[in-house]
Chain A
């Protein structure tokens, strides 16, 4: 199982195991990692699952495109270059060790 390291806005760090095929958002929500809201449950409709991908992982995850890119323009926390909506990050074995910082406002 690939692991994900989440840095939450409250300063805590959470290392969690993810199921291959689950999104990073889903993994965080199911286990109660603080900071992600994800009101739409992954439908790419709410922009409340905003994370910053750690620099060393951005090549593996890729950057936001299309609707995700547009949604990030109006996310509560101003977007950065490595902003992603975590419901769009589907976990694979290759992403084992993925490090994400959760945006402070969702």
Chain B
């Protein structure tokens, strides 16, 4: 491991971006007994850390920076993984074989193989006032520290964007007694990442907890006082909502610019195949920055922002880099904690043509089907159903959609064909 400063001037595998995906490639290379030099360069002043707690336990003060770190320095040393912190790769020149990366301190690193693991950045709100004091996005430890401090003495929080991060912050803040408003521009929560049954359910539960959720509501301006501190949010219909703190959670933008300049094919993300291969031989892309083939909709591609995706892609890409046959990919999954709602999602529901809702008091399971085959489940407060579906998807088992709503059988029983 090495601190900010000099990297090796020549490495076998260069990994740009020291997040979950970048570190994942490095550790998987070692698991595959790759013996060459591995260098990971990241522009944040931290060793690789987990982001999920930033909008959950870390924000609530239940976890600290130490809890977030993914691996100890001793682990990186032992596995001979060189991690450069606080250094940005500013350009990449690809040659016939390998290439050269230039860093922000003008040093260069030559490499044989390259992995882009540049992640994504929080999208800013494209309205006047977005840079007022008291307005935050949430992506990094630095962001989370600021938000955590800002929320201490706050009475009124406005969250712009009804996505996972926004809802997590909203739910945690509401539980602490804040007055919370969520403004969502589209007709439902989580529209970009979830099917309507989960959106509708969460809408009801959060509203019941006292969060003021307004759908179809666009923000046109953030209004501040003479000190530049945000005081109000102005809506498209002219109405204003008072706010002490505004959290903007309107999605993430994959960091593709570096790859694009290096000549890689990019769409919303860096275009990759199932195993992370880019349009150029010897170069892979993994995690939030990669745009992959859609599992249910042939011809379409998607970016997936989840820890599971970062880990699965980095595992496959490390196989590609070492020329080892790639294993089968694990089942896609995701989680989100929103106050007393534990949300777990197995599979990818996008592309479903039918769904079945199973609801019991505070639990919900929605099973999604495509051509009568189970492809995904959204589960709230029911870990047994989640794990049963996740395992079944991995083993290619399904449920008869006709019987899927029979609550006298558990999902596990239905999946085992015992029903």
A68 to B, closest residue via Cβ:
B383
Complex CA–CA separation, A61 to B66 (angstroms): 22
Contact B387 A26 (CB under 8 A): no
Considering only CB atoms and an 8 Å cut-off, how many residues of chain B contact the other chain? 31
Within 8 A of B (CB), among A17-50: 19, 21-23, 26, 29-32, 39-47
Q: Which residues of A contact B381 (CB under 8 A)?
A: 67
Judging by beta carbons under 8 Å apart, are B66 and A19 in contact?
A: yes
Q: Within the assembled complex, what's the spacing in Å between the Cα atoms of A74 and B344?
A: 14
Nearest CB in chain A: distance from B19 CB, A: 12
**Cβ–Cβ < 8 Å partners of B333 in chain A:** 46
A29 engages B337 (CB within 8 Å): no
Q: Does A53 contact B (CB under 8 A)?
A: no
- Chain A residues with CB under 8 Å of B382's CB are 70
- Chain A residues lying within 8 Å of B52, measured Cβ to Cβ, are 40-41, 43
Residues of A within 8 A of B412 (CB): 74
Nearest B residue (CB) for A76: B391
Kindly list chain B residues whose C-beta atoms are within 8 Å of the C-beta of A103.
none
Q: Number of A interface residues, CB 8 Å?
A: 24
Answer whether A40 and B335 are a contact pair too, CB < 8 Å, given A22-B67, A45-B344: yes
A68 CB to nearest B CB, Å: 9
Interface string of B289-305 (1 = CB under 8 A from A): 00000000000000000
Q: Which residues of A contact B56 (CB under 8 A)?
A: 43
Residues of B within 8 A of A30 (CB): 69-72, 75
* Residue pair A45, B342 in contact (C-beta under 8 Å): yes
The answer, yes or no, to whether A73 is at the interface (CB within 8 Å) is yes
Question: Which of A41, A45, A46, A71 counts the most B-chain CB atoms under 10 A from its CB?
Answer: A45
Given contacts A30-B75, A31-B75, A40-B335, contact A70 B311 (CB under 8 A): no
User: What residues make up the interface of A, taking CB atoms closer than 8 Å to B?
Assistant: 19, 21-23, 26, 29-32, 39-47, 67, 70-71, 73-75
Q: Closest 4 interchain pairs by CB?
A: A74-B387, A45-B335, A30-B72, A71-B383
